């Protein structure tokens, strides 16, 4: 089955700086890669996603890049703000195969230092 | 996007007992999922629940321990049976949504503590 590795497990950055979180996946058939943000005591919330036919996607301060050959994808947050502090999870799935289950990475605890 | 609710939001249970968690959606969905999130950990899929068929369980999870019902397209239940302290976790249901029905959206979760 699919295996998703995520690094780093913790990350502290100064407010205003950029944060990068990296994930690798094992199943070359995976074609959908969402990122979730989970604040303390809350449910995971989708913040951005990318499909395998796209190399990069951006939404304001958040961007995701995908390298299918190397089987890795990354989350980039620019101009970080205190409200970006949370745990971030990457995930991978094979959609349109009737098997849309998500395999999650282990999570990154991001702390923004004011 | 669909509104997902779960009951109870939290519970404290004694070992050996069972708890049934309900997941209600305000629109009809084909696929629902149940996840477990142990303290400080990532999310692990327990099973996929399609209406009208038996749930499909992931490796390490069995129907006798986590029976699931899916009586209609807006509702599902997960039962945690014969609980032990190791079952203390957050249990979340999710569903597929979005324009291409590829995105999973999560319920608020049920925090379970087993003493």
Per-position DSSP letters for chain B, written without gaps between them: ---EEEE-SEEEE-TT--EEEEEEESS--SEEEEEEE-TT--EEEEEEEETTSPPEEPTT--TTTS-EEEEETTEEEEEE-S--GGG-EEEEEEEEETTTT-EEEE---EEEEE-
Taking CA–CA distances from B111, the nearest residue in chain A reads A41
Residue A98 has pLDDT above 60, yes or no: no
Q: Does B103 touch chain A (CB under 8 A)?
A: yes
Q: Express each pLDDT in B13-48 by its tens digit.
A: 999 999 999 999 999 888 899 999 999 999 999 999
Q: Express each pLDDT in B89-113 by its tens digit.
A: 999 999 987 767 778 899 999 999 9
CB contact under 8 A, B45 and A102: yes
CB contact under 8 A, A46 and B92: no
Q: Which chain B residues contact residue A101 at CB under 8 A?
A: 33, 45, 48, 58
Higher pLDDT: B51 or B112? It is B112
> In Å, how far is B27's CA from the nearest CA of chain A?
19
Instruction: Work out the pLDDT band at A99, boundaries 50, 70, 90.
Output: low
Which residue of B33, B42, B100 is in closest CB contact with A89?
Answer: B42
Instruction: Work out the pLDDT band at A100, boundaries 50, 70, 90.
Output: confident
Distance set, CA B30 to CA A98, B71, B75, B101 (Å)? 11, 12, 10, 10
Q: How many CB atoms lie within 10 A of CB B16?
A: 10
pLDDT at position A97: 56
Taking CA–CA distances from B4, the nearest residue in chain A reads A43
List the structure tokens of A99: 């098997």
CB contact under 8 A, B92 and A43: yes
CB contact under 8 A, B43 and A46: no
pLDDT at position B1: 72
Q: Which chain A residues contact residue B6 at CB under 8 A?
A: none
CB contact under 8 A, B42 and A107: yes
CB contact under 8 A, A43 and B31: no
Distance of alpha carbon A110 from alpha carbon A58, whole angstroms = 19
Q: Which chain B residues contact residue A93 at CB under 8 A?
A: 102
Q: Which chain B residues contact residue A106 at CB under 8 A?
A: 41-42
Is the dihedral angle over the CA atoms A62, A105, A17, A44 positive or is it negative? positive
Closest CA relative to residue B12, chosen from B65, B83, B68, B63: B83
Closest CA relative to residue B20, chosen from B75, B55, B67, B85: B67
């Amino acid at each position: 089955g699919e295996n998703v590795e995520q690094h780093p497990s913790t990350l502290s950055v100064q407010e205003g700086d950029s944060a990068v979180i990296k994930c690798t996946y094992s199943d070359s058939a995976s074609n959908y890669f969402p990122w979730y943000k989970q604040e303390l005591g809350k449910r995971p919330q989708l913040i951005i996603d990318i499909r395998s036919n796209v190399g990069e996607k951006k939404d304001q301060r958040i961007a995701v890049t995908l390298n299918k050959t190397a089987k890795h994808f990354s989350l980039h947050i620019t101009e970080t703000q205190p409200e970006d502090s949370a745990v971030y999870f990457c995930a991978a799935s094979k959609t349109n195969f009737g098997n849309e289950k998500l395999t999650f990475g282990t999570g990154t605890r991001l702390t923004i230092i004011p | 996007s669909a509104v997902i609710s779960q009951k109870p939001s939290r519970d404290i249970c004694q070992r050996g007992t069972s708890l049934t968690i309900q997941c209600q959606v305000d629109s009809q969905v084909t696929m629902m999922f149940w996840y477990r999130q142990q303290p400080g950990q990532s999310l692990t899929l327990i099973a996929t629940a399609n209406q009208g068929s038996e749930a499909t369980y992931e490796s390490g999870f069995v129907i006798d321990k986590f029976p699931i019902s899916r009586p209609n397209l807006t509702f599902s239940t997960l039962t945690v049976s014969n609980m032990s302290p190791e079952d203390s976790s957050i249990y979340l249901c999710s569903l597929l949504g979005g324009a291409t029905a590829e995105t999973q959206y999560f319920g608020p979760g049920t925090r379970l503590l087993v003493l």
